[in-house]
Amino acid sequence: MSSNICPECNQEWNGWWCKPCNSKRLQNDFNNWTSGNDKIDKFIQDAQLNADVNWEAIEWIPYDRFKDVKQIGKGGFGTIHYARWIDGIREWDIENQHWKRWDGEVALKKFDNFVNFNNVLNEEIKLIKKS
Ligand SMILES: [Zn+2]
């Protein structure tokens, strides 16, 4: 078993995700991305600052970072697409000082209209808090 102490800050960690170190790292990167919407930016930033594990550190992903996008469904408000997301945050590589990335399959939802955007965001927040 690996050490329970983060080699960077010498605080206790789970062996692969150090909340204080990664929170600081992600915060330093806030100026390097934007969704173009202040409310979305704030939502993502809060999630990154409070992430206890990598899958809670949600990211803004430019569309060109998705590969093999294809439509797989259609609903009342838009369409559902399959895609591969090639560089999600997995963990910090201390030795090489960069994020280790993962390659995974995701579902994208494309809305026909953006009318009820606030409701959509509130619904996502509720889902995240429930899980
Ligand atoms: Zn640390």
Distance 91 CA to ligand 1 centre (A): 12
What is the residue range of 117's domain?
19-130
CB atoms under 10 Å from CB of 119, counted, come to 9
**Residue 126, domain member (yes or no):** yes
**Residue 2, domain member (yes or no):** no
Q: Looking at residues 58-77, what average pLDDT do you find?
A: 89
Distance 5 CA to ligand 1 centre (A): 8
Distance 9 CA to ligand 1 centre (A): 4
**Residue 94, domain member (yes or no):** yes
Distance 123 CA to ligand 1 centre (A): 33
Q: Residue 1's pLDDT band (boundaries 50, 70, 90)?
A: very low
Q: Are 4 and 12 in contact (CB under 8 A)?
A: yes
**How far apart are alpha carbons 56 and 54 in whole angstroms?**
5
What average pLDDT does the structure give for the chain?
Answer: 86
Distance 23 CA to ligand 1 centre (A): 9
Distance 31 CA to ligand 1 centre (A): 22
Please determine, for residue 118, whether its predicted confidence score (pLDDT) is greater than 80.
no
Please determine, for residue 11, whether its predicted confidence score (pLDDT) is greater than 90.
yes
Please determine, for residue 3, whether its predicted confidence score (pLDDT) is greater than 80.
no
Residues contacting residue 77 through CB under 8 Å, at least 6 positions apart: 111, 112, 113
- What are the pLDDT digits (tens) for 70-88? 999 987 678 999 999 888 8
- What are the pLDDT digits (tens) for 82-113? 999 888 888 899 889 999 988 889 999 888 87
The domain tally of the chain equals 1
**Residue 45, domain member (yes or no):** yes
